[in-house]
Amino acid sequence: MKTFFAFSFVFSVWIFSSMPGRAEEPGQDWNQWRGPNRDSKVDSKWPTSLSQSNLKKVWSKPFGPSYSGPIVLKNTVFTTETKDKRSEVVTALDAVTGEKKWSAEWQGAMTVPFFASKNGSWIRSTPATDGERLYVAGIKGLMVCLDIKTGKELWKLNFSNRYKTQPESFGHVCSPLIIAEEMDNAIYIQCAAGFLKLNRLTGEEIWRSLNDGGGMMTGGAFSSPVVATLDGQKQIVVQTRTLLAGVDIKTGKVFWKQNVPAFRGMNILTPSVLGNQVFTSSYNNKSYGYTIARKGDGFQSTEKWSSPMRAYMSSPVVVNDHAYLHLQNRQIACFDLETGENKWVSQSRKRFGDYWSMISNGKQILALDSGGVLYLMNANPDQFELVGKVKLGTDDSWAHLAVVGNKVFVRGIKSLAVYQWE
């Protein structure tokens, strides 16, 4: 279960100080898991090819192991690491030079069960920022809020202590969610055997929902939530170890829920939403399209289609009503989300790695393979169309890519590198 795991809006109230004479570079901030809208999409024009000639390394720095994706705000990149199997560290670096700005450290490491130990016992969750504060969730269920300019600790929350629950058996995975347009100073996260809305200024609970009781096979979410409007109702779509659910942002009320079969509760993907339909795919089971519709005073979830093709833990990207998905068998597939039709599967004797993180600009898909290879493919529903690849000089990577402007941020298990794509 290597990264179960393994984020546009512009912050206008605050800007990082920069080197004298250096202009801010264009592009969106990458402020949380899978980008600002948590859908791995960017609004930018990319080169039509990818090769050693147009992808240049800007800098690279060694770090302790981590599955957390890097996040980027203005000219600062943030990354996490587990240090000496005892503590966790978050570091802020100048995105242009790689120069360290600050770091913060706390005790918080743990050891996962023996049958999952080959996947490492280090931090998994990708941090989030609201532009003034950085929120980091450690592997043992410890959330730390830091001042983004200085790294000063503002508050810390131990979920197990507050809610009298056991630490998640495989380590905490869910990446915290910030909904900027809500303007309610809240942050959302699956932890402590439930789904929580917290005051992000203080860490105090606002509400708690979807309490699952915990347990090795049903508790401790591997998925991270997203925001969607389904049949006119804005809500948070949450995938637990056993089900999908729509949760009211204001109250935590569960609008609807749908059981999702999965081997040993390995529902890992971030849900994808298209119109009133939610797509997910579970380990050793199937891919599903569920339609969410109002019924009476509530909502109802209906299975619209299912496919025997199944994912492992790589979340798809959706482009023009089609989902591009890395499969459990290490091939790539394209689904028509309206009908469930499998449009194609990459036919190659050489399979890809165990994990892909993908980002799309609406026409192309940039994908980082767990073996440290960066791929560029066209988002073509008619055929698998790979147009370029580069073997990066990095170790295995199970963290999600970040792309800001023409910069590509790659977190290997033991390194952070920045590439410029011209």
State percent of the chain over pLDDT 90. Answer: 83
> What was the pLDDT predicted at 110?
87
Last residue of a domain, one of 162, 192, 222: 222
Total-model pTM: 0.92
The domain containing residue 258 runs over which residues?
A: 230-312+335-347
Q: Is 57 exposed, middle or buried (0-12, 13-18, 19+ CB in 10 A)?
A: middle
Q: Is the pLDDT of residue 114 over 80?
A: no
Residue 5 has what pLDDT? 39
What's the number of domains the chain is made of?
3
Do 240 and 254 belong together in one domain? yes
- pLDDT for the residue 12: 34
The mean pLDDT value for 380-403 works out to: 95
- Do 126 and 77 lie in one domain? The reply is yes
Residues whose CB falls within 8 Å of the CB of residue 311, separated by 6 or more in sequence, listed in order: 268, 269, 281, 282, 283, 287, 325, 326, 327, 328
Q: Is 116 helix (H, G, I), strand (E, B) or coil?
A: helix
pLDDT score at 8 = 37
Comparison of pLDDT for 216 and 158, the residue scoring more: 158
The answer on 343 and 238 residing in a single domain is yes
156 - beta bridge partners? 144
Lookup: tokens for 18:
């920069």
Q: Which two tokens stand for residue 287?
A: 């891919």
Q: Are residues 420 and 408 in the same domain?
A: yes
Q: Which residue carries 């401790």 as its tokens?
A: 220
pLDDT tier at 380, thresholds 50, 70, 90: very high
> Do residues 237 and 287 share a domain?
yes
| Angstrom distance (rounded) from CA 256 to CA 276 | 13
Percent of the chain residues past pLDDT 70, beyond the cut: 93
Q: What pLDDT shows up at residue 112? A: 85
Tell me how far the alpha carbon of residue 103 is from its chain's centroid.
Answer: 22
User: Band of the pLDDT at 1, cuts 50, 70, 90?
Assistant: very low
Averaged pLDDT for residues 81-94: 97
Residues 291 and 360 in one domain: no
Does residue 142 sit in the same domain as residue 212?
yes
Beta bridge partner(s), residue 199: 186
Residue 40 maps to a domain: no
Contact 414, 395 (CB under 8 A): yes
Which residue among 198, 222, 246 closes a domain?
222
Q: Is 114 helix (H, G, I), strand (E, B) or coil?
A: helix
pLDDT class for 306, splitting at 50, 70, 90? Answer: very high
E strand or H helix at 367: strand 364-369
Listed residue (135, 110, 113, 134) closest to 123, CA to CA: 110
Query: What pLDDT shows up at residue 406?
Result: 95
pLDDT tens column, 158-179: 999 999 999 999 999 999 999 9
Say yes or no: 279 and 165 in one domain: no
> Which residue would you say has higher pLDDT here, 73 or 9?
73
Q: What is the pLDDT of residues 16-33, one digit of tens each?
A: 333 333 333 434 699 999
Query: Residue 289 corresponds to which tokens in the numbers above?
Result: 């399209």
In a domain, 323, yes or no: no
pLDDT at 214: 81
DSSP string of 149-206, one letter each residue: TT--EEEEEEHHHHHT-PPPTT---PPPB--GGG-S-EEEEEETTEEEEEETTT--EE
The whole-angstrom separation of Cα 244 and Cα 256 is 8
